[in-house]
Structure 1
Amino acid sequence: MNSTKAMTTGREDGIKLIGKRSVKHVGAWMLQTLCAGLLMLCSIHAQADYVHLPYNKGWTANFDNLSFSASFSASRDVPVGTVLQSVNADGKISYSNTCPVTKTVTVSGTPVPGMADTYQTNVPGIGVHLYVTAGWSGGNYTSVPSTEVLGLSSSGPTNFYTRADLVVTGPIGNGTLTTLPSMTISYSGTCIDDPNYISPHMQALNPGTTIIGRTCSVTTPSVDVTLPTVFPSNLATGSAGATPFSLGVNCTQGVTVKVTLTDASNAANTSTTLSLAPNSSAAGVGLQILSGSTPIAYGPDSAVAGNVNQWTAGTTTGDPMNIPFTVRYIRTTGAITPGTVKGAATFTMSYQ
C-alpha cells in the first residue's frame, strides 16, 4: 500500500511537471508565431502603396535635366506664343495605391505677365513653358503648375514624361540662357506614408543655350517722292502720275520681312487712300501707294506679328533687299480743287 501510493504520487507529480513544461513551451511558440505574423502584416502594409518616380533612377532621385539646343537663331518679331523648341524625357513610373493620391507640381520662376504658365528667362523675348504627364502615366501632357487627385490604380513601370517648351514672349534679343525655371513633382495620400515614396522630384533645365536674334537694318530710313504735275482731266480714269520709289533693308538670311504703312495725318486710317497733309491746298484728290499692282491699306504703327494691314515684302537671302513701291494720285469724293497735294506715311518693318 505504501509503495503503491508513492508510485502514484510520483506519476502524478511527473504528469504535472510535464504538463506545466508543455503549456509553457506551447504558449511561447504561439506568442512568437503571433509576433511574426504581426511583423509580416506590418511589412506587407508598408509595401502595398507606393509611387516609384523617376523609376529609372530610384524613387528618391530627381529627374535628369532637360537641355535645349546649344544655339539657334530666331527672327526678332516672331509671333508671341510661338514655340521655338520643345524637349522631353521619359522618367518612367511604377505605382500602386489603395487611396486617392494628390499629385502636386510647382514651378520655381518668374511668370511672364499675361501668358499663362510661361516663365521668364534672362534673354529678352524668351520664356519657358513646362509640362508633365497628365494623370498617372501615358503620353498626354498637362500644363504646370497643377494639382491632380488620382484614383486607385496599380501599374508599372510605364511612361511618365516631362517636357519644356521654349516660347516667344516678345521681341527676341540676343544672349545665353542662364536663368531658367524648374518644376517639382510630389505625391501625397493617407496610404502612402513612407518618405521614400513621396519625396519631391525636381525637373531642371541645363543653362548655356545661345539665342541669336535675327534682325535687319533699314538702309532708307526716309524717302521723299516728287510726283509730276497733273491736270484735273488727267484723273478722269481715277488715277494719274504713278511714280516709283523703294525702301531698302539689310538682313541675315531667312528673315521674313513684313511691312505696315501708317497714315501720318490720320493714324486711324485703314483704307487704301493716304490722307492729304494739312498743308495741302488741293481737294477731291488723294494719294495711293501700291506694291506691284495692289493698293496698300494703312494700319497702326506696330511691328507686332499680325498687325492690322501688315503685309509680306519677302524673305531675305542675306543680301541687301529693296522693296519696290509706286505712288500715284487717286480721285476722291467731291469736286476737284487745283492746288498742292502733299501726304506723309511712316513704315514699320517686322522681322519674322
Structure 2
Amino acid sequence: MKFASGLANKLSRFVVADRQGMGRLGLLLTCLALLLVGPEAHADCSPKARLPDTVVKFPTTIYVPPDAANGAVLATTGAVAVTGATANTQYASCSGSGSLYWQIAAAPVVANRTGTTSVAGIGYTISLSGGGFSSDLNMDTQLNAANVPGGLATPKFTSQLYVTVNLVKTGPITPGKLSLNPSGTGTPGRAGVFFAGDGGSIVFTVTMPSNVSSVSSAACTVTTLSPNVSLDAISTSALKGVDSTAGEKSFPIKLNCPSAETKVYITLTDNANPANTSTTLSLKSGSTASGVGLQVLNAGTPVAFGPDSAAPGNKNQWLVGTSSEGPMTIPLTARYVQTATKVKAGTVNGVATFTMSYQ
C-alpha cells in the first residue's frame, strides 16, 4: 500500500505540473509504462557443446517371423553408448524454467511414439537409459531442466548415457531395404535428437546408415515335414535300470533357407502332454509297453520339450545354428529310456511336434 500511495503522490505532482504544458504529461505516461511493464525474464536452455553423432546399426538381414504380432520387436541395436555423453559431462546451460527435449525431430509428437521406416509395416522406437536419469526416456519426452541431474543451471550426465533403437512391426510387411524417416515428420537417416531449449538447439543426434540392412519376411521351408522314426525292437533286458537307454537311431529335419545370417531356433513339444518340459517324451495312447519312454537327442544330449510357440525365448527353445542361403540339416537321434523299475514289453509310440523360430 505504501508503494501505491507513493505512486499516486508522484502522479499528482506530475499532473499539477502538466498544467504548464502537455509535454510533461507525455513524459509521465512513458515513465509509468516503463514502471508497470518492467524487465522481462528470459527462461531457456542452450547446449554447452554439441556432441558427436552416435551411429547405430542393425544386422545386414532382418528376418520377420510370419506369426509376429503388431508391436513385436523384430530387431534391436541393444544399448549403444552415446558418444561423448559420459559421467560428469555438462551438456547444457539453463535459466528460469528451461526445458530439454528427446524427440524424433523438432516437431509434434509422432503417432504412438513410433518413427517411420522405408519398409511398409515396420516402424521404430528409441529410448535413452543411464546418464543419471531416474528412468528410461522414451521417444518424444520433455524434461524440466530443474529436475535433471546437475540441476537447472548446469544439467549434466552423472553416468554414461545409452541409446536403444528397436524395430517394431506395425502392420503387413513388404520386404525391402531399411532406412529411417524417408518422409514425414523426421529427418531421413536420423533416429532421434536431444534438444536444449525451445529453439531446438541440438545437443546430440542418433543416426543410422540407410540401405545397409534389408528386411526379409521369408521363412526357411521345412522339407521333411513329418519325419517318421521307426526304432528297432529291443529286449527288455537291454534296459538296465531307471534312466538307462538303448536302441538309438538317427534322423534329420531338413530345411531350405532363402537368406543367410538368420538364426534358426527349434522347440520340440510333447503331443500327448504339451505341458511336459522334461527330456522324456510321453507314450501315445494305445501303446502297450510300460516303464519305458522315448528321448530325442541333439548332438548326444537329450532335448527338453517345451510349449508349441515360435516366440523368442520360448521355454526349452534351442539354437540350431545360423543359416546360409540354401539347405540346412538338423541331425537328431531317438532312443528308448527306462522310466520305472519294472519294464513291461509291448508297443512304444510317441509323437513330438517341432516349431521353428527365425530370429
Q: Tell me the TM-score normalized by structure 2.
A: 0.60
> Is 2:62 aligned against 1:74?
yes
Deviation at 1:333, TM superposition (A): 1.8
For structure 1, which runs of at least 5 residues remain unmatched after alignment? 1-23, 58-65, 112-117, 157-161, 188-196
Which residues in structure 2 correspond to 1:218-233 (within 5 Å)? 218-233=222-237
Distance 1:340 1:107 in 2: 65
Deviation at 1:334, TM superposition (A): 5.5
Q: Which residue is 2:255 aligned to? A: 249
Contact 1:180 1:207 in 2 (8 A): no
Contact 1:246 1:323 in 2 (8 A): yes
1:49 pairs, out of 18, 42, 58, with 42
Deviation at 1:243, TM superposition (A): 0.6
Residues 283 and 253 of structure 1: is their aligned pair in 2 closer, same or farther, counting only changes over 3 Å? same
2:347 pairs, out of 340, 343, 350, with 340
Distance 1:263 1:333 in 2: 19
1:212 pairs, out of 205, 211, 215, with 215
> Is 2:124 aligned against 1:127?
yes
Deviation at 1:212, TM superposition (A): 1.6
SS in 1 for 2:237: helix
Distance 1:70 1:307 in 2: 23
Instruction: Name which of structure 1's ranges 320-329 and 70-79 shifts more when overlaid on structure 2.
Output: 70-79
Q: Tell me the TM-score normalized by structure 1.
A: 0.61
SS in 1 for 2:248: strand
The alignment covers a number of residue pairs equal to 290
> Is 2:245 aligned against 1:239?
yes
Residues 52 and 104 of structure 1: is their aligned pair in 2 closer, same or farther, counting only changes over 3 Å? closer
Q: Provide Cα deviations, 1:186-228, integer angstroms capped at 9, x if missing partner.
A: 99xxxxxxxxx84678999999757423742222222111111
Q: Which residue is 2:141 aligned to? A: 146
- Structure of higher CA gyration radius: 1
Q: Which residue is 1:267 aligned to? A: 274
Contact 2:125 2:168 in 1 (8 A): no
Q: Provide Cα deviations, 1:64-99, integer angstroms capped at 9, x if missing partner.
A: xx9987994223359948523879899x9875524x
Distance 1:144 1:49 in 2: 27
Task: Output the amino acid matched with 1:97.
Answer: S
Distance 1:222 1:75 in 2: 25
Residues 168 and 334 of structure 1: is their aligned pair in 2 closer, same or farther, counting only changes over 3 Å? farther
Residues 316 and 70 of structure 1: is their aligned pair in 2 closer, same or farther, counting only changes over 3 Å? closer
Q: Which residue is 1:84 aligned to? A: 77
Q: Which residue is 1:167 aligned to? A: 166
Distance 1:146 1:272 in 2: 48
Distance 2:354 2:340 in 1: 26
Q: Which residue is 1:97 aligned to? A: 95
Q: Provide Cα deviations, 1:153-201, integer angstroms capped at 9, x if missing partner.
A: 5579xxxxx99854144699524666877589999xxxxxxxxx84678
Residues 125 and 308 of structure 1: is their aligned pair in 2 closer, same or farther, counting only changes over 3 Å? farther
Distance 2:246 2:43 in 1: 82
